Structure 1
């Protein structure tokens, strides 16, 4: 099996927190990868050497500034009462709702879900904002969030 049951996921609380719980019937769409699957995905899609975003090498694609076209503030939208992602993000990412996406915290901590689920519950995912990246299956666009409240919009190469 490539996934952990959500009940065994160490950060399950970010999806069940009383301030903004994900509805019970939508939790099934949030699928934390087991460590082996996450490590393989990370190696193939982010870095073969580095275990987290803070230690990426200059040869890893996210470290190439030319891959990033813009950066926008996500923190203001996160703090706001409205549930939507920042407008610049949804304008940049034009994926269909059923596109599989991967929210990558670090080498052993990646969540698979659908774009529709991420869009609806993105604030939950960003309870941990220590450099996570969102990638889509067979899509070149990428989002790289930082803890200062910015998200880089780019293309992975």
Structure 2
């Protein structure tokens, strides 16, 4: 079993919060991974040595500051009444809506969903913005969100 039931997920409230409820069809496609599966994906695609984005070190592809873009604001779009994904993100990421994506909060906390679901509900995912990374299955592009309201993008190794 690779998934935790959403009802058992400790951060379920970010998807069921009264101020920003997620539609039932999208909720079905938001799949928190077990700690073991999260750790495996983190090791394979993010880091074999660092538990979260605050602790990348030499040897982690994400540690290389030269691969990252300049920081781009996402907070302003999050604060407005529109739900549209910031254009700065949609101009960078042109994945099909059915592309499997992983929203990686940290080594033991990753959510699998589809790019279309993420685009519609990105504000919910970013209730926790302590350095999460978004990667796509079989995709090189990655987004790294910061709690200061910005994101950077790069192509991962």
Q: Distance in 2 between matches of 1:66 and 1:140?
A: 16
Q: Distance in 1 between matches of 2:150 and 2:82?
A: 18
Q: Distance in 1 between matches of 2:13 and 2:51?
A: 23
1:46-65 superposed matches below 5 A? 46-65=46-65
1:88-103 superposed matches below 5 A? 88-103=88-103
The TM-score normalised by the length of structure 1 is 0.98
1:39: which partner in 2?
Answer: 39
Q: Distance in 1 between matches of 2:41 and 2:73?
A: 27
Give ranges in structure 1 of 5+ residues lacking alignment. Answer: none
Give ranges in structure 2 of 5+ residues lacking alignment. Answer: none
1:1-157 superposed matches below 5 A? 1-157=1-157
Q: Distance in 2 between matches of 1:127 and 1:54?
A: 18
- Greater shift, 12-21 or 67-76, is seen at 67-76
User: How big is the shift at 1:85?
Assistant: 1.4
Equivalent residues, number: 157
- Structure 1 contact 70–154 (Cα < 8 Å) conserved: no
Q: What is the aligned-residue RMSD (CA, Å)?
A: 0.8
| Structure 1 ranges of 4+ moved more than 6 A | none
The TM-score normalised by the length of structure 2 is 0.98
